[in-house]
Amino acid sequence: MFSIIQAAGWPIYPLILLSIVGLSLVIERSLMLRRGRVAPDKLLDEVVALSRTSLPSADFINKLSSSSSLGGVLAAGLRAVVAEPRLGEDTLRLVFENAGRVMVHRLERYLNTLGTVATAAPLMGLFGTVVGMIEIFGSQAPTGGTNPAQLAHGISIALYNTAFGLLIAIPALMFYRYFRGRVDEYTVDMEQAAERLVPHLMRFAVRKSAAAGATA
C-alpha cells in the first residue's frame, strides 16, 4: 500500500485526507440516522395511548423530546397544547411544522459535506492526472530522447490518482443518495405522525375551552 502511495506522488495526499473525511461522515450519519434514533416504531401509538384521557406530565414530555427526532416533534405539539389550551388547529399545525423543519435540518447535517466529497474526489484525481501528464512531458529531453524513469513516474501519478479519486467518489455518492433517501423517508413519517396527532390533541383544546366557557 505504501508503495502505491509513493508511486502516486504528492497529489494523492489530499485524496487520502478526503477519504478519511468521507469515511468519518459515513460512519457518523449511519449511527445518527438509525430508525430507533430518529423515528422509533410504535412511538406515536404510545403517545396517543398515554394521552387518551389526559395530557401527559412535563417530565414525560421532556423525556419524549430528547428520545428521538420524532419524539421532539410530538413533544412540541404537546407543550403547545399544555401551554395554551385555547390553541387553534392552524396554530398547532404551524407548531408541528416548525418543529419538523428543525428536526429535518438536524437530520441533513453533514450531508452537503458528504456530497462535496463525492464531487471533489474525482476532480482532485483529475488534478493528479494533470500533474502526471506534466511529469510525462517533462521526461522528454530536448534532443528527442526520453527519461524512462521519469516517464514511468508520470504515468503512475496520472493513473493512481485518477483511480483513487473514483474509488472515493463512487461510494461517497452512493451513501449520499442513500442518506438523502432516508431523510426524505423520515420526513414523511414525521409529517404523518404530526397529522395524526393534531385531531387527538385538539380534543383537549376544545374540551378545556368549553369548560372555561361553562365556568364563566
At 156-183, the pLDDT tens digits run 777 888 889 999 999 999 999 999 999 9
Q: Do the beta carbons of residue 103 and residue 194 sit within 8 Å?
A: no
In this prediction, residues 3-13 reach a mean pLDDT of 72
90-99, 103-112, 133-142: the lowest-pLDDT one = 133-142
Q: Do the beta carbons of residue 192 and residue 68 sit within 8 Å?
A: no
Residue 7 Cα distances to 23, 43, 111, angstroms: 23, 55, 33
- Please state, for a pLDDT cut of 90, what percent of the chain lies above it: 59
In this prediction, residues 94-117 reach a mean pLDDT of 95
pLDDT in tens, 46-99: 999 988 888 889 999 999 999 999 999 999 999 999 888 888 889 999 999 999
Residue closest to 111 by CA, chosen among 69, 54, 172, 50: 172
Q: Do the beta carbons of residue 79 and residue 47 sit within 8 Å?
A: no
In this prediction, residues 16-33 reach a mean pLDDT of 95
Whole-angstrom distance, CA of residue 40 vs CA of residue 28: 19
What integer pLDDT is reported at residue 8 of this predicted model? Answer: 64
Average pLDDT over the chain reads 86
Residue 29: pLDDT over 90: yes
Residue 18: pLDDT over 80: yes
What integer pLDDT is reported at residue 76 of this predicted model? Answer: 94
Task: Record the pTM.
Answer: 0.81
